[in-house]
Amino acid sequence: MRIGPKTRNLRMTALLALGAWAVAHLLTWLLPNVLEPWNSKAIDRMFVYRSESETFRPAYDSTVLHVDLSDRSLDKLGSFYPSRAHFGDVARALGIMGTAAQTWDFIFPAHSSDPNDDQAFVSGVADAGNVYIGMAFVLASKGDDVPARELTPEHQEYLDQTAWQVRVEGSPADLLEGRNPLINFIELSRATKGLGYLSLRFDADGVFRRAPLVVRIGDAVYPSMPFRAVCDHLGVTPDRIVVRPGRTVTLLGAQKPGQEPRDLVIPVNDHGEMVVNFIGHWDRMKHIDFADILQYAGSSDDLEMLAEELHTQGALVVVSQVSTGSSDIAPVPTDNNFPLSGLHASVMHTILSGRFLDEWGTGRMLIIEAALLLLIVAIGSVRSSSLLWVMAVGLILGYLGAAALLFLATDTIVHIIRPSMMMVFGFVGISAWRFIGEQKTKEALKRSFESYFPSSVVRRIMANPEMIMVGGQKKELSIMFTDIKSFTSYSSVMDPDTIQKMLNEYFEAMVDIVFKYEGTVDKFIGDGLMVFFGDPEPQQDHALRCVKAGIEMQKRCREMKVEWERKGLFPLKIRVGINTGDVIVGNMGSARRLSYTVLGAPVNMAQRLESNAPVEGIMISQRTWELVKDHVKTRPLDPIQPKGIAEPIQVYEVIVE
């Protein structure tokens, strides 16, 4: 039976739509580290819009609040960091103020140098009776190779005793595995109401969006700290928790104070991770300053008045350090610099509010994509190409609007990038096929389209891949390495604060000199420094700049040596090695983490020269000497034979006046 043109067109339109669907899925599978971050970023924009919208902004449950060890706290304390006795006073005070739970975003794995200080902390925690202090695991997926760390018998016994016996329906192996536990010193652990892990995992783009509620160690299950505190607050014991990896974590008979018990069903992914429903920026939640609590810690009457003023009765408090210099800061959907204690608070807030984000997986998304395929075929059958594109743009925008509305109104997250790619591929493919069909025969159309679709359309739809690829360019640069003589020996008998202050003073002086000569600081390597000259700004005299910087660094170190010896510190002496050669310079690393650096044999040679340089001297290579010999005083040294070099090489010492 002869097939008419109308039927052929409909079949081809359907085939192209299916091809677009297949290509979209194939690209999602082949390029997860590109497309998944795109999709996540699109959803992040909805988080940001929602947090700024009066209409859609989620309500804040003030049951969850923060106690912040901030810059203001440290100013009021008059010290760089509170003592453990201070921590104990605050824990006891928060207990008196009627908090339901205190979750401390800290880990204290070792005793301090003052046993009385530790005892005061333990006593305060025990008196409060509602303190949860963090521990850490290395979160590993099935098949990850993580070296084991041995625990003391006391810690192992404590870990075994505190394991949760929950009901797991499905494969427990799908859950994340907690390895190498880092636990608080044993007296503190036993004084707490419980421990929970603080460990988190970021997505492929480095953003924290999910939190694992439980992890497994063998057959045992351990809760995250916010999840444990919330379960206790809701009166849910481990035997009333049902974990279904890839589906839900159910709290049976959860009861908020003053409400009837009900089952709380939390959607999770295969690893037991919940999508955190961030309510907005860091300042959205209520914050109390650590110093304000500590100020009234000795007076029960004052604490009760403060509790009434701050509404801490029955609150779940997150105690954390957020002062300047805190490293526990990372991007989340609503904020690029978000203290991660806020993520723990957001986990508790999400569970207590019951507003869980339902992230649709591939199974449910297939239903949406099937409906979109039908609409693509229907629109693709329209005769007018102009009308086709008006309707196509309307469908794409309509889907994006529907996805945003589902998120804002029902807390549902659907995939954005893959269906959008499918629609664009489909309509571009249909339009291309129709255009070619008007110009050529059916066979010519088929050949042209098969060659056109993957090579032109896909590349036009996808972003330029060169933007995320690593690489660099070849240049002749001058590289310098410096190192402090015998620093390891001296630092072994010095306290960490003194070491830190000395290194800060030393590096600040050295970096100032490097910047004076417009060099680039590559990295700090313990007490060593690596810099290079000649890039990113081209410098014809990069070798001379490098050598002059080395001379000035040696002079400055000699001045600092006198100052340090007068203070009773060790005599500062450094070695400097400089080499000039062709290297690769540019962004090196991965798409997640790039570093502007130099690579090549001349870099290694510069480091070898530093290790062979005379103390308080500067050793340079033959090539560097050729470029600076007319400008600085030098003298030849005996040839050296660095490791890995077959023949001895001629080297020179720069005379430091």
pLDDT at position 443 over 70? no
Phi, psi values for residue 187, rounded to 5°: -65, -40
Q: Residue 416 and residue 419: Cα distance in Å, rounded?
A: 6
Q: Greatest CA span in the chain, whole angstroms?
A: 104
Q: Are 481 and 607 in contact (CB under 8 A)?
A: yes
CA distances from 648 to 556, 639, 643 (A): 32, 6, 10
The per-residue pLDDT for range 366-404, each reduced to its tens digit, is 999 999 999 998 888 887 878 888 999 999 999 999 999
Q: Are 498 and 451 in contact (CB under 8 A)?
A: no
**363 vs 542: which has the higher pLDDT:** 542
Per-position DSSP letters for 382-421, written without gaps between them: -S-HHHHHHHHHHHHHHHHHHHHHHHHHH-EE---HHHHH
At 589 the pLDDT is 66
Q: Residue 499 and residue 492: Cα distance in Å, rounded?
A: 10
At 453 the pLDDT is 27
pLDDT at position 210 over 80? yes
At 437 the pLDDT is 62
The per-residue pLDDT for range 240-283, each reduced to its tens digit, is 999 998 889 999 999 988 889 999 999 998 889 999 999 988 88
Task: Report, in this order, helix, strand and coil percent for the chain, each rounded to 5.
Answer: 45, 25, 30
Handedness of CA 433, 435, 438, 443 (dihedral sign): negative
pLDDT at position 442 over 50? no
Domain spans in the chain, listed from the N-terminal domain onward: 5-28+361-467, 64-353, 473-654
Q: Residue 253 and residue 236: Cα distance in Å, rounded?
A: 7
**129 vs 298: which has the higher pLDDT:** 129
Looking up tokens 């677009």 gives 20
Could you list the beta-strand ranges (E) of 109-191. Answer: 131-140, 167-168, 177-182
Q: Are 481 and 530 in contact (CB under 8 A)?
A: yes
- 97: which residues sit within 8 A by CB, 6+ positions away? 293, 303, 304, 306, 307, 310, 312, 313
Helices (H), 31-70: 32-52
Q: Which of 43, 59, 67, 69 is nearest to 334 (CA)?
A: 43
Q: What is the mean pLDDT of the chain?
A: 86
Q: Residue 507 and residue 500: Cα distance in Å, rounded?
A: 10
Among 150-154, 428-432, 436-440, the range with the most confident prediction by mean pLDDT is 428-432
pLDDT at position 159 over 90? no
At 456 the pLDDT is 32
Q: Which of 139, 413, 101, 175 is nearest to 277 (CA)?
A: 413
At 74 the pLDDT is 85
At 465 the pLDDT is 39
At 603 the pLDDT is 93
Q: Are 383 and 9 in contact (CB under 8 A)?
A: no
Q: Which of 304, 285, 288 is nearest to 95 (CA)?
A: 304
pTM above 0.75, yes or no: no
Helix axes 362-380, 5-30, angle to 10 degrees: 150
Q: Give the rounded distance of the alpha carbon of 369 from its chain centre.
A: 32
Among 57-61, 309-313, 551-555, the range with the most confident prediction by mean pLDDT is 551-555
The per-residue pLDDT for range 80-132, each reduced to its tens digit, is 678 899 999 999 999 999 999 999 999 999 999 899 999 999 999 999 999 99
The per-residue pLDDT for range 584-601, each reduced to its tens digit, is 887 776 655 556 788 999
CATH number of 473-654: 3.30.70.1230
At 592 the pLDDT is 57
At 479 the pLDDT is 96
- 294: which residues sit within 8 A by CB, 6+ positions away? 73, 77, 82, 86, 89, 90, 93
Looking up tokens 């009861």 gives 255
At 490 the pLDDT is 82
Q: Residue 119 and residue 88: Cα distance in Å, rounded?
A: 9
The per-residue pLDDT for range 3-45, each reduced to its tens digit, is 556 777 788 888 888 998 999 999 988 988 888 889 999 999 9
Rg of the chain in Å (alpha carbons): 32
